[in-house]
Amino acid sequence: MNDIIRTLVESFGPSGCEDRIRAIIRELVEPCVDEVRVDALGNLIAHKRGTGTGKRIMLSAHMDEIGVIVSYIDEKGFVRVQPIGGVNPMLEIGGRVQFESGIVGVVSYSKLPNGAQVPGFDQLFIDVAASSRETCPVKVGETGCFLQPMIEVGGHLTSKAMDDRIGCAVLIETLRQLGTTPHDVVAVFSTQEEVGLRGATTAAFGVAPEVGIAVDVTLSPDTPEPGIKMAVGLDQGPAIKIKDGGMIATAWVKDWMIATAEANTIPYQLEVLVGGTTDARAMQTTRDGIASGCLSIPCRYVHSPSETVSLSDVQNAVKLLVAMLSAVCPAN
């Protein structure tokens, strides 16, 4: 599974530019399902038919990652950018950005305004070794993302784009391991989540599931003096969401996850996230409402170039989903 995760997280795919990562995922899931299609927003929708005795269940993990978009190039060829999604400019400094053309640039910043402690995007610039606007190898409107390879240390995996390629890896491995299922399983690898749950919103309307389950990362504030208190940490199992900033999980879906974990001796945690939300919100509020929940992978340093997850948490998330989808659900 590590090789799949590495391939996913090291691939290029900011919101709105998911073509490359979608092609990679499509090749991995096609042998495991009965039908694959791409909708108008670029969502990859993989359908595994069940025996007809269960529910129509939509699983969703987003393919896109945070990034930047070129907004201006100055007369000396230095590139100015604006964020795609929740990018912290402080975490960009000294790092490298890869643009969709393959060009790599170094991020630095100009003098800060009086009293400023950290730079904003107005102070950031990217050095792509150009000498003028005319010789700059990137263009206004071109997107870019962090350039950071995955490393493995002590059972933890660190890379850019764990949010939410790790969720995509969980769905891929779930489809690979899932045998006969009573459920009509529709796995959606969604687009543009980082800019407003856009892909999942349209996909959920089209799929029209009876149950929706998102797989995404959540904060893991188990580091020294974190700014937020949550009962979530690495190496303790996937987190079953109770509530976040945009969604309260449907009670019976949450309870189904908990009961399945306990029946199969799968470690789990309970998550109450103060802010942020996932594709589960888009599914829950589509049409006339969908029973929805979310399975979260605890992640340190979210929205940084070094997002860190535990491989055991990932593997246990797969075990939990496979167990759930292999049996009828309590609402049948």
Q: Which residues are part of the catalytic machinery?
A: 193
The amino acid present at 124, given as its one-letter code, is: L
Order across the sheet with 35-38: list the strands: 35-38, 44-48, 184-190, 56-62, 211-219, 291-299, 239-243, 269-272
Beta bridge partners of 144: 68, 99
Place of tokens 């949010």: 163
Question: How many angstroms from the chain centroid is the CA of residue 246?
Answer: 16
Closest to 62 in 3D by CA, of 139, 153, 166, 156: 166
Q: Can you tell me the distance from the alpha carbon of 297 to that of 224, in angstroms, rounded to the nearest whole number?
A: 20
Q: Can you tell me the distance from the alpha carbon of 268 to that of 265, in angstroms, rounded to the nearest whole number?
A: 9
